[in-house]
Amino acid sequence: MNFNAITIRDIAKELNLSVSTVSKALRDSYEISEKTKKLVVEYAERNNYRPNPIAQSLKHGHSKSIGIVIPTIENQFFSQVINGIESVAYNAGFNVIITQTHESYDLEVKNVSHLAHRSIDGLLISLSTETKDVEHLKKLHKQGLPIVFFDRVSDEIETHKVIADNFKGGYDATKHLLESGYTRIAHITSPPNISITKERLAGYNQALAEAGLQIPEEYIKHCLHGGRDTSEIENVLTELLSLEKKPDAIFTTSDRITTTTLFLLNKLKIKIPDDIALIGYTNTTLADVLNPPLSSVYQPGFEMGQKATEMLLNIILSKRPVTEFKTLVLPTRLFARSSTSCKGLV
């Protein structure tokens, strides 16, 4: 069954009215009688008339739509970010169009292009793990499309950015392991090209340096697809567990990598934390009931979505060109649970 949206012209023809009269009636103009307004509105409702958003955007200067590009909605962190975005956007009368890259650069380029052709007023984006070239975003930014980055950002485009304190998150997680008695701390993380990887790795290295520890290079593992494939994490775990000096703790730096590592260690009958302690980034509300309860770094996803949207709307609704931008850094929180119980006490 084909759905054909009716237009103002269709309504005018059916009711034997002028296009101008129908348009004014739908806008509740004082120039049109109440009887005619009632006739037009009732017919429009019966026939599922919807205003053309592109035509409205041309007339009013805004489509009242925001495009969102995220790696994956199944990650609870990004789900929380979207909830934050919607809470601000809907309250301001804006709709949101959500797209996922599934960590693919090619899909990111396609999604951004599709959103731009939908006449969005602005774009909120967190880069995919494969993205090294942001020319597709630079082009739109130069053409005047407001863009705000969140979580995974680019330094090549001058605009607002909202991130978590990734350095401190990496530092706090590593220091917690050190204070719990662990000294051979492996690090499983995302590709080296994305911002969050660099920042969390820097925090990890800083905590180790302060403790006077030098970790072998083979203790640091990059999942080039962000742990999207379980085999990625299986491979790096196999490499770590095959080392002559196996790590006594693992610090993971994404929701997917963290929960998959926990699952695989349990599958291999490796006792946590008796054999290997585990701490990671995760926003799952189930961290307390996992086996064992998982020590984790929590990011303020909802607040990140709110702040990023507020910044984007400020650009969109500003009557003057916005030339000053800032990077907002939100605090992370460390939750210590059983997966990192003090060594020697487990």
Residues 293 and 176 in one domain: yes
Answer whether 7's CB lies under 8 Å from 55's CB: no
For residue 267, the number of C-alpha atoms closer than 13 Å in the C-beta half-sphere is: 11
| Tally of structural domains, the chain | 3
Q: Is the CB of residue 253 less than 8 Å from the CB of residue 280?
A: yes
Q: Quick count: other Cβ atoms within 10 Å of Cβ 174?
A: 27
CATH code assigned at 82: 3.40.50.2300
Per-residue pLDDT, 191: 93
Same domain membership, residue 282 and residue 193: yes
> Tell me, what's the pLDDT at 5?
61
Say whether both 192 and 172 belong to one domain.
Answer: yes
Q: Are residues 172 and 274 in the same domain?
A: yes
Residues 69 and 94 in one domain: yes
Are residues 218 and 290 both part of a single domain? yes
* Residue 111 sits in the same domain as residue 139: yes
Residues 249 and 170 both lie in one domain = yes
d(CA 342, CA 175): 13
Mean pLDDT by 10-residue block, N- to C-terminus, for the chain (346 residues)?
65 90 87 91 83 52 86 92 97 96 96 88 96 95 93 96 97 97 96 95 97 94 87 94 95 92 94 96 86 94 98 92 94 96 72
User: Which among 132, 69, 77, 68 has a CA at the least distance from the CA of 257?
Assistant: 77
Residue 71, pLDDT score: 95
Residue 20 is assigned to a structural domain of this protein: yes
Residues 341, 24: Cα–Cα separation, whole Å: 69
Q: Are residues 137 and 250 in the same domain?
A: no
Q: Is the overall model pTM greater than 0.75, yes or no?
A: yes
Neighbours of 179 (CB within 10 A): 13
My answer on whether 197 and 267 are in the same domain is yes
Regarding whether 280 and 187 lie in a shared domain, the answer is: yes
Cis check for the bond before 300: say yes or no (omega within 30 of 0): no
Q: Three-state SS across 100-134?
A: ECCCCHHHHHHHHHHHHHCCCCEEEECCCCCCCCC
pLDDT (0 to 100) of residue 52: 57
**Which residues form the domain of 305?**
61-164+301-330
The pLDDT assigned to 346 comes to 52
Partners of 298 in the beta sheet?
333
Residues 46 and 93 grouped into a single domain: no
> Tell me, what's the pLDDT at 1?
27
Residue 56: inside a domain, yes or no?
A: no
Note the pLDDT of residue 289. Answer: 81
How far is 81 from 96, CA to CA, in rounded Å?
13
Contacts of 103 (CB under 8 A, 6+ apart): 71, 72, 128, 129, 130, 225, 226, 228
Task: Look at the alpha carbons of 335, 194, 260, 243 in this order and tell me if their dihedral is positive or negative.
Answer: negative
Structural Rg of the chain based on CA atoms: 26
Q: Please check whether residue 99 lies inside any domain of the structure.
A: yes
